[in-house]
């Protein structure tokens, strides 16, 4: 648990104890205040802010709200409202207002009154991060914002759960690694397959030698997009598009390159390869004991082969088919490919 959370809670506990001794407890104390029915008391809950309320942010936020030890207090999205994949007028309600509704509804269900209005919303993540009452944040924005948001969150004393990939550029990742170490912060990346029992059992089988000494692994990832995924017409951008582009180039707006489909252009994502390598290739590294620790464990050589790119380069510029050949210490080889069967073999 991070130091700043411990300090805040210690202060609250000490202050509450001193006040109680001086004036006595009220006749009736709400069960939630004492942490009854298995729920932690408010002073022991991790207060959370959620940044990026699209499809992924919505899903992870919902999972975190189900944890009794967490308390959602704020959301942030550059759009007040949007409706998910390639759309602004239909489907599930995302964006800042959609996030507020989810949080308030969750806690309203736990109240006798059936109402709750305690979640605040922001279109600028910096306002959320400036709040002293927030312990930790979820970062589920498009990739190109991960690095800058996480760096600012660390400067503001927050712990972080960030969706993969951690950053858009290597230099951002290095700076983030160093600041996490300096702040002694809790930082978790959304590689959720490591929490899945099936993957854990498979890794145990491999690492305990039940398959013998492995010298080659094949990692299968999905194909990318070789044609527009949505309407490619250039249209007027919605409110918040400038902030959405942020540190990356502001390309002409089209729905085929916005929600979800931003990942097919290197301004905002790195294609299917970077979208999935943090899952199946991570499991391959885990199983083979090739996790990078102390600068060791990573590949000795990396060679890209047979890359095919979108036939509409003015819309997407990432590879839709790709092979990546890696070699490691001990003569171990790996082929990461969109042409392999999905998973690890």
User: What is the number of structural domains in the chain?
Assistant: 2
Handedness of CA 37, 43, 45, 49 (dihedral sign): positive
According to DSSP, the β-strands at 159-162 and 333-337 are unpaired
Residue with tokens 């930790």: 136
Same domain for 160 and 54, yes or no, is yes
pLDDT at 84: 73
Average pLDDT of the chain is 87
Do 144 and 283 fall within a single domain? no
What is the per-residue pLDDT across 163-182, written as a single tens digit (0 to 9) for each? 999 999 999 999 999 999 99
- Do 108 and 229 share a domain, yes or no? no
Confidence of residue 88 (pLDDT cuts 50, 70, 90): low
Domain shared by 87 and 214, yes or no: no
Give the pairing of strands 46-51 and 136-139: parallel
- Full domain range(s) for residue 172: 45-190
Does 177 lie in the same domain as 257?
A: no
Cβ 86 vs Cβ 229: under 8 Å = yes
Asked whether residue 148 carries a pLDDT value surpassing 60, the answer given is: yes
CB 207 within 8 A of CB 287: yes
Torsion sign (Cα): 180, 185, 189, 195: positive
Same-domain pairing of 163 and 260: no
**Structure tokens, 13:** 């506990």
Residue 216 within a domain: yes
Confidence tier at 297 by pLDDT (50, 70, 90): confident
pLDDT in tens, 91-105: 789 999 999 999 999
Q: Which residue has the higher pLDDT, 163 or 85?
A: 163
Is 21 within a domain? no
Q: Which residues contact 197 (CB under 8 A, 6 or more apart)?
A: none
Q: Note the Cα 211 to chain centre separation in Å.
A: 33
Determine, yes or no, domain membership for 286.
Answer: yes
Q: How confident is the model at residue 291 (pLDDT cuts 50, 70, 90)?
A: confident
Stretch 54-75: mean pLDDT? 95
pTM for the structure as a whole: 0.85
Report the run of H or E that residue 220 belongs to, with start and end.
strand 216-220
What is the average pLDDT across 133-146?
98
Residue 298 lies in a domain: yes
Is 259 found in the same domain as 307? yes
Q: In what order do the strands lie in the sheet with 70-76?
A: 120-122, 70-76, 46-51, 136-139, 159-162, 187-189
Of the residues 190, 219, 251, which one is the last residue of a structural domain? 190
Q: How far apart are the first and last CA of the chain?
A: 37
Position 78 scores a pLDDT of: 97
* pLDDT tens-place string over residues 10-56: 433 333 333 333 333 333 444 444 454 556 666 789 999 999 999 99
Here the contacts of 227-230 (C-beta below 8 Å, separation 24 or greater) are 227/310, 227/311, 227/312, 228/256, 228/312, 228/315, 228/316, 229/86, 229/256, 229/260, 229/261, 229/264, 230/85, 230/86, 230/254, 230/255, 230/256, 230/257, 230/258, 230/261
**pLDDT digits 0-9 by tens, 174-207:** 999 999 999 999 999 988 899 899 999 999 999 9
Name the packing angle between helices 95-108 and 55-65 (round to 10°): 20
* Lateral strand order in the sheet of 343-344: 301-309, 319-327, 333-337, 216-220, 343-344
CATH number for position 76: 3.40.50.720
Say whether both 301 and 338 belong to one domain. yes
Residue 31 within any structural domain of the chain = no
DSSP 123: S
Would you call 335 helix, strand, or coil by DSSP?
Answer: strand
Tokens of 257: 């390159």
Of 1 and 256, the structure prediction assigns the larger pLDDT to 256
């Amino acid at each position: 648990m991070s130091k700043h959370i411990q300090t805040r809670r210690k202060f609250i506990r000490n202050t509450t104890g001193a006040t109680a001794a001086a004036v006595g407890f009220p006749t009736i104390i709400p069960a939630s205040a004492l942490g009854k029915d298995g729920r932690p008391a408010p002073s022991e809950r991790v207060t959370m802010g959620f940044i990026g309320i699209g499809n992924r942010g919505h899903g992870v936020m919902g999972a975190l709200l189900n944890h009794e030890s967490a308390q959602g207090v704020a959301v942030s999205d550059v759009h007040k409202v949007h409706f998910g994949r390639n759309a602004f007028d239909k489907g599930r309600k995302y964006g800042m207002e959609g996030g507020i509704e989810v949080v308030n509804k969750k806690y309203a269900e736990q109240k006798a009154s059936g109402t709750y209005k305690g979640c605040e919303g922001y279109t600028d993540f910096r306002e959320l991060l400036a709040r002293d009452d927030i312990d930790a944040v979820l970062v589920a924005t498009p990739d190109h914002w991960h690095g800058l948001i996480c760096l600012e969150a660390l400067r503001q004393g927050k712990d972080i759960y960030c969706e993969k990939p951690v950053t858009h550029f290597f230099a951002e990742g290095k700076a983030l690694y160093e600041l996490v170490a300096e702040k002694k912060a809790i930082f978790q990346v959304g590689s959720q397959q490591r929490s899945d029992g099936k993957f854990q059992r498979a890794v145990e089988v491999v690492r305990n030698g039940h398959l013998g000494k492995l010298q080659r692994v094949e990692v299968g990832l999905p194909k990318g997009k070789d044609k527009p995924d949505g309407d490619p017409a250039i249209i007027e951008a919605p409110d918040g598009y400038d902030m959405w582009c942020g540190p990356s180039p502001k390309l002409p707006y089209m729905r085929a390159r916005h929600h979800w489909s931003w990942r097919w252009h290197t301004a905002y994502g790195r294609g299917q390869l970077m979208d999935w390598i943090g899952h199946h290739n991570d499991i391959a590294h885990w199983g083979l004991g090739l996790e990078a620790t102390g600068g060791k464990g990573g590949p000795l050589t990396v060679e890209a082969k047979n890359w095919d790119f979108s036939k509409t380069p003015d819309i997407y510029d990432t590879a839709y088919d790709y092979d990546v050949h890696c070699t490691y210490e001990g003569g171990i080889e790996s082929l990461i490919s969109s042409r392999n069967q999905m998973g690890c073999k």
